[in-house]
Amino acid sequence: MAYENIRLETQGAIATLTIDRPKALNALNSKTLQEIESALHSLSPDTRALIVTGGGEKSFVAGADIAEMSTISAAQAREFAAQGHRVLMMLESLPCPTIAAVNGFALGGGCELALACDLIYASEKAKLGLPEVTLGVIPGFGGTQRLTRLVGKMRAKELIFTGGHVSAAQAKEYGLVLEVLPPEKLMEHCRTVAEKLLKNGPLAISQAKRVIEFGADQDLRAANELERQGFAVLFGSEDQREGMKAFLEKRPAGFTGK
């Protein structure tokens, strides 16, 4: 399918979603969100990892499109936020791991897009933040909640209340990104991580992702019960039998996702 504001490319079991609106620094408008949603729907069941990045050298995603937002009503804002939440929840809920390759500005909606991914790696040139209060609003695509769960309540309040942005190095210090890479090494690193993931059982990774995400909002007893159930259900899979047989036979496993 042809898209205007994004690119979706697949190489083997690894897909790459690129937000590509260079004149708007890849800002998220309604059409771009629609295209992201369509692209996520179109992912092959064989996709084992998704890398999300921004086109060009300056920006991952500079934010939501302020030019579009500046004239909308409260009712329209509610619909725009609902669209953003729906798309990012879809991204967050994919069964395969998702990797954000933050290659430049990741502000507002861009930071929220990265936060919806499982793993975040950043270029040395990256800047991350949620500056919505400087516009008289707050994050609207889940930033207040995902950031708080990632870096803690007090640090999230500082970042959101000040409306500033942090360097990639600061973001790593805060636990907002995992690693900081030279710009020319970022995508190579993300692809290397994705290829490592391909060696492991896809059903196991999907189940681990599910248990972590749902367990994070539960008390320890309920979360451990989720883990127990997820552990047990995998013993009905061909991947479990293949993985353990391969271990005993001292050979690489050939997982099929069944």
d(CA 68, CA 152): 32
Q: Calculate the average pLDDT of the chain.
A: 96
**What are the structure tokens assigned to 249, written together?**
């036979």
DSSP assignment of 30-86: HHHHHHHHHHHHH--TT--EEEEEESSSSEEE--B-HHHHTT--HHHHHHHHHHHHH
Mean pLDDT, range 133-141, rounded to an integer = 97
d(CA 112, CA 23): 20
Q: What end-to-end distance do the CA atoms of the chain give, in Å?
A: 28
227 is catalytic: no
195 is catalytic: no
Ordered structural domains, the chain, with CATH: 6-198 (3.90.226.10), 202-248 (1.10.12)
**What are the structure tokens assigned to 72, written together?**
């909308």
The pLDDT confidence band at residue 1, using thresholds 50, 70 and 90, is: confident
| Total Cβ atoms within 10 A of residue 227 | 14
The one catalytic residue among 4, 9, 57, 132: 132
The one catalytic residue among 68, 92, 112, 184: 112
Mean pLDDT, range 144-173, rounded to an integer = 97
pLDDT of residue 200: 96
pTM of the model as a whole = 0.95
pLDDT of residue 107: 98
> Could you read off the pLDDT of 48-78 as tens digits, one per residue?
999 999 999 899 999 999 999 999 999 999 9
d(CA 203, CA 150): 25
Answer whether residue 25 shows pLDDT above 80: yes
